[in-house]
């Protein structure tokens, strides 16, 4: 099967594989050529990944790709602040997507994110941590700031459908309960569970 693929297409497949193995997610909106390559050569890519015991999910409904490894060694452990950030953003994604068409991306603002932190009585991120959080979301194709000043309350952030694969919908209620119990690091055991749930492959 590989022999039948042109050299140009092989290079595209290699580029897509390298990207997926690095960050696990691919969004059509951000990489249309890469997404088209995955759809064209889904069988070949899946065969290669099967040898590595990786699973690829092509979500055509939401136009995104998710790569998952069964090995915990491939998971990225996040610190407390980044873990909480991901949980808050996942909750906002779920709230914002209600009533939208499948093709539409939910959006939020720094003000709304900060308000959600206040709702759970969580300390807001410092400037450096906020920068890291935005870069993390951008790297993993989870979200993207639409305005240059990410510290402004009016800064808009688009939320991609890859959030569906960061934390499963069925776990949201339990995770929201954990966030409510977590107050400025007082519940270490709860924090440990949150980190486990929010780790990125």
The CATH number of the domain where 101 resides is what? 1.10.10
Residues 85 and 179 in one domain: yes
158 bridge partner residues: 107, 144
- Residue 161 is predicted with a pLDDT of 94
Residues 40 and 63 in one domain: yes
Number of domains forming the structure of the chain: 2
Q: What global pTM score does this model have?
A: 0.81
Q: Which of 72, 106, 129 is the C-terminal boundary of a domain?
A: 72
| Residue 102 pLDDT class (50, 70, 90 cuts) | confident
**Is residue 94 domain-shared with residue 39, that is, in the same domain?**
no
Is there a single domain that holds both residue 10 and residue 84? no
Lowest average pLDDT, out of 28-32, 112-116, 158-162, 177-181, goes to 177-181
The answer to whether residues 137 and 131 touch, using CB atoms and an 8 Å cutoff, is no
| Residue 42 structural domain | 2-72
62 versus 194: which is more confidently predicted? Answer: 62
Express each pLDDT in 66-90 by its tens digit: 998 776 544 567 788 888 899 899 9
Q: Inform me whether the pLDDT recorded for 50 exceeds 60.
A: yes
Residues 114 and 194 in one domain: yes
Final residue belonging to a domain, choices 52, 72, 92: 72
Whether 47 and 132 share a structural domain: no
Q: Which of 106-110, 118-122, 190-194 has the lowest mean pLDDT?
A: 190-194
Q: Are residues 40 and 86 in the same domain?
A: no
Q: What six digits make up the tokens of 31?
A: 């990489």
Query: How many Cα atoms are found within 13 Å in the side-chain-facing hemisphere of 134?
Result: 23
pLDDT for 40 equals 94
Confidence tier at 178 by pLDDT (50, 70, 90): low
Same domain membership, residue 97 and residue 159: yes
DSSP reduced 3-state for 109:
strand
Return the C-alpha torsion angle 44, 46, 47, 52, nearest 10.
140
Are the C-beta atoms of residues 108 and 92 closer than 8 Å to each other? yes
């Amino acid at each position: 099967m590989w022999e039948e693929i042109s050299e140009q297409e092989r290079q595209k497949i290699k580029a897509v594989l390298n990207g997926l193995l690095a960050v696990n997610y691919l969004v059509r909106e951000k990489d249309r050529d890469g997404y088209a390559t995955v759809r064209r050569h889904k069988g070949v890519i899946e065969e290669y990944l099967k040898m590595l015991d990786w699973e690829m999910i092509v979500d055509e409904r939401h136009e995104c790709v998710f790569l998952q490894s069964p090995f915990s060694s491939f998971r990225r452990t996040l610190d407390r602040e980044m873990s909480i950030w991901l949980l808050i953003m996942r909750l906002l994604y779920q709230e914002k997507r209600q009533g939208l068409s499948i093709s539409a991306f939910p959006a939020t603002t720094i003000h709304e994110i900060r308000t959600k932190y206040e709702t759970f009585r969580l300390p807001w991120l410092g400037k450096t941590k906020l920068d890291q959080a935005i870069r993390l979301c951008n790297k993993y194709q989870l979200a993207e700031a639409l305005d240059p000043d990410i510290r402004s309350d009016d800064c808009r952030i688009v939320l991609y459908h890859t959030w569906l694969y960061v934390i499963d919908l069925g776990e949201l209620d339990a995770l929201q309960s954990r966030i409510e119990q977590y107050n400025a690091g007082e519940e270490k055991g709860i924090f440990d569970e949150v980190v486990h749930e929010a780790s990125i492959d």
